[in-house]
Every structure is written in C-alpha cells, then in structure tokens.
Amino acid sequence: MGEQRYNMTELLICVAARQIPDNVTVFVGTGIPMLAASLAQKMHAPNLMPIFEFGGVGARLEIPPRAVGGSRTFYKAIGAYGICEVLETACRGFVDYGFIGGAQIDPYGNVNSTIIGPQYYPPKIRLPGSGGGNDVGSLVWRTIILMRHEKRRFVPKVDFVTTPGYIDGPGAREAAGLPRGSGPYRVVSTLALLDFDEETKRMRLLATHPGVTVDQVIENTGFELIIPDEVGVNEPPTEEELRILREEVDPERFYI
C-alpha cells in the first residue's frame, strides 16, 4: 500500500465501523472491534451501546481498553455486570451485532480459533480456543467476522469449527438448535468486504478495498466465492475518520 495516507489497520477499522448503525447493541472485544465501535460512536452512531463479555455495558469508549475485562470496558458505562448478565441478554435477543475473529474461515462463515491441522490432540498448532467467540457467534443477530485475507485462511473446510456460521447451508443453524434468524452478517477482510448469499448462505464478495482487484480477492480465497455482477469499492478512510481515529480513538497509538 506504499504511499497510502493510511495503513491496513486503519482501513479495517473504518470499514468495520461503517457496518454498525446508530442505536444498536454490539458485542466488542479488544483491538480492532473496540476501535471500530469507538470510531462509529464518534462518527455516525453516538448511541451505539458497546457490550463487553465480562460485564461492561454502554461504556463511553474514550480510552481504548487493553483487555475485555479491563476498567475501560465500563468507563462511564450504563452498567457493570458479569458474564451471565450480558450473555443472557444476548440469549434473549437483545444484542444486535457482535465481532469475532479467527485463524480460518470457510464459505459458510464457520470460524476456527482452536487448532490448526488434521489432528485434535496433540495439535500441530494450538490456538487460544473459543473464549467468548462461540457465544457471540451463536447468540447475536448479526456476526461480523474480521479476517486476514489469505488462501490458507479462507479454506473450503476449517480444521475445527470453534464458532458456527451457517454450518453447511440454509436451515442448518436452526436445525442445530441455534437461535432462528441469527448468523454471520459481514466479513471484513484485509482485501474486501463480504456478506452471505440469502439463498445458499455462501460467502459473497460485496466490495473490494481501494486498489484491490476482484481477481486478487479470488486468488487469495481457497474456495469459490459468489461474485455478483456488480462489485463495489470501499471508500478509503476519510480525513475526518482518520483524524478522529488518530487523535481521539487511539491517541497513544497502541493499536494503530
């Protein structure tokens, strides 16, 4: 991205922030999701209600937290509860959006953050495990997945389904007992913005990042993507977004 006036992290944060409207509840973790929620709160979504899994509800995201249970996750918040309260709130259908990440994703939005390799134990590579990922991906209405876009990460079948997406197609979530109408909503990758086809529940390209071609996205995806007739291009970060991001969201430049 050479002479760009922004870096990849900043672009991801901006594209992720634009997916969240005002007056919604969002499960956020530390890092990019937190910065995206903070940016959205300061741009177009002043009433965005961030929820952190260890109990923080409705914090003013003035200083970026460094841990999902850190004190900044309930700084000037509406409520400071515990895990049960916030996850049970999601169980009852009160949480609209949630962010998760992972090491692998498949065409149905199933995400792996547990192990890499064919054998469960001992594994070739051990990753952290579900944490709140499975809870968020099971319970919120719309899951947004953040991914580094590489062929080895966008795979036909993930090595381990830590968090279910649409599992193996239409109706599979409901058949498994997961809440009706929930599931993956967007994938924000380092190359593009993607969603899921309503009919097949397979991943579909929505828009490429500035300077990225459709072919590049296809080349870096290990399965067949649905490519619609018209593919958009994401707006690069605006001057205003960058100013707020650098001066207000993460002035210590801890993340960006």
Partner 1 sequence: MRILESGVGKLIQPPDMDAFREWNREKKSRAMVDKLMTEEEAIARFVTDGCYLGTELYGTVRAPMSLVREMIRQGKKDLRLVGQGVLETDLLLGAGVVAEMDLTYIGLELYGTSQVFRRAAENGRLKQIVEWSNGALTWRFKAAAMGVPFLPVRVMLGSDTFKHSAAKVAECPFTGQKVCLVPALILDVTLMHVHRADRYGNAQIDGISGFAHEIARASKRLIISAEEIIDTEEIRRYPERTIIPYFLVDAVVHAPFGSHPGEMAYMYARDEEQLREWVEASKTEEGTQAYLNKYIYSLSNHQEYLEFIGQERLEALKAAMEGR
Cβ neighbours, 10 Å, residue 195: 18
- Closest distance to partner 1 from the beta carbon of 22 (Å): 25
C-alpha 28/C-alpha 61 separation (Å) is 11
Segment contacting partner 1 (CB under 8 A): 41-49, 169-177, 219-227, 237-245? 169-177
Annotated catalytic residue within 3, 10, 53, 199: 53
Q: Is 38 in the site for partner 1 (CB under 8 A)?
A: no
Q: Choose, by CB under 8 A, the member of 25, 41, 143, 163 that binds partner 1.
A: 163
Place of tokens 């605006």: 238
What residues numbered 186-225 form the site for partner 1, per CB under 8 A?
A: none
Q: Is 224 a catalytic residue?
A: no
- Asked if residue 100 lies in contact with residue 143, where contact means CB atoms within 8 angstroms, the answer is yes
Segment contacting partner 1 (CB under 8 A): 173-181, 200-208, 211-219, 229-237? 173-181
Q: Please tell me the count of residues contacting partner 1 according to CB under 8 A.
A: 59
Query: Which whole-number Å values give the CA distances from 28 to 97, 115, 143, 227, 234, in the listed order?
Result: 9, 23, 11, 29, 23
Q: Tokens for 163?
A: 């968090």
Interior CA angle at 165 toward 37 and 137, to 5°? 40
Q: Is 87 in the site for partner 1 (CB under 8 A)?
A: yes
Residues interacting with partner 1, by CB under 8 A? 30-31, 52-56, 63, 66-76, 80-84, 87, 91, 114, 120-135, 138-139, 160-164, 167, 172-173, 175-179, 255
